[in-house]
Amino acid sequence: MKNEGDWGLSMENYAAIRPALAPGADLDEMNRVLIQTIAASVDELGTSDRPVKRGLARWLRNTITIATTKSVYGLQNPYKDQSIQDNFWDFEGDLITNLIGVLPSILARKGIVGGPRAVFVYTAAAALWMLLYVFSYPDVLENIRGEIGSILTSKTDEKGVKEVLRHRSMGTSIRQVMQDTVLDERSLLKDAMIQMPSRVIHKDASIWGSDVDEFNPGRFKKDQKHKMEHGRHFATNEILALVSMFVMLFDMVPTAGTWSIPQTTNTNVVAVVIEPDADVEVEVSQRKGFDGIWVFSLMDSDKSLYYCRRGSGGRMKSNLGVRIYA
């Protein structure tokens, strides 16, 4: 049996995922299903004439789980079964406990849940943090609503996602040194392994400035280009679509009275995005002037999300468009 080389579950998984998540017709179709499913959840949230109380993390988790898996699996989506959803999230919460055990029946499930885990676990956490930060900073909320309302491109909106990930991502990149190298007067020997924790870089004031601990999407410039993982467009679209819908249609306040960032002590050690220890209880109400039935659609490869409010008799009273990724 081979012990080295580009083979195995991880490599085969990447090879299968790359074509499907690359920009193009297939990704457009997945995004359409994704957005329509998210829109249905958002619409349901706004059906009450009175403010509704929700656990924000729980609501996002359910919404993103169904939207993502429906777009990935199609009509045969196994996650339509609530028990399968619940079992998945139970497994996710106890992942480390299972991995360090000596139970093959448990460890064998890693191959089953590994793909979906990467698809929506981190997206749900990132969407939670983005909504918390946006609503915690009134000036950021006002700016985002203004940009969406003015039909500006969301290269600006995407800055918010980047800033959320700067604050809340905790992944560690690992690379092997292919040949002896001297980097910044440090010797890196061939075959050595290098670990690069993102938290260290993201919290370095010499890189980000004295406001490193503040939430400031403006620190990212429009023309910055970064090489990101396959699936970046899919995950970014999901976060931006959900957040765009939510901030335009709803007001939200914490039931505790003031916004505070939840503790994250129990975050899974293999998580890429930090997860809260407890849910965030909120009260959601529809914004004045933004009530009614909204219709959301994704155009073809121009990557634009359009949504419009439907008035009485089915007549469209307003129309807004947001470019959701570059």
Show the domains of the chain with their CATH numbers.
9-323 (1.10.630.10)
CA distances from 246 to 14, 127, 130, 173, 294 (A): 32, 11, 11, 33, 12
Phi, psi of 195 (to 5 degrees): -105, 135
The candidate with the shortest Cα–Cα distance to 326, out of 171, 182, 222, 218, is 222
- Please identify which residue in the block is written with the tokens 């690379």: 175
pLDDT at 80: 85
Higher pLDDT, 314 or 98: 98
Dihedral sign for Cα atoms in the order 263, 267, 269, 270 = negative
pLDDT tens figures, 29-81: 888 888 888 888 888 887 777 889 999 999 998 899 888 888 888 888 888 88
pLDDT at 259: 92
Phi, psi of 315 (to 5 degrees): -80, 135
Q: Is 307:294 a contact under the CB 8 Å cutoff?
A: yes
pLDDT at 107: 47
Its pTM surpasses 0.85: no
Q: At what angle do helices 56-73 and 82-93 cross, to 10 degrees?
A: 110
pLDDT mean over 150-170: 70
Q: Rounded to an integer, what is the distance from CA 14 to the centroid of its chain? A: 19
> Please, what's the largest Cα pairwise distance for the chain?
72
Q: How confident is the prediction for the chain on average, in pLDDT?
A: 75
pLDDT mean over 221-249: 71
pLDDT tens figures, 99-139: 555 454 544 444 344 444 555 678 888 999 999 999 999 99
Give the type of residue at 258.
T
Q: How far apart are CA 88 and CA 94, in angstroms?
A: 10
Give the type of residue at 264.
T
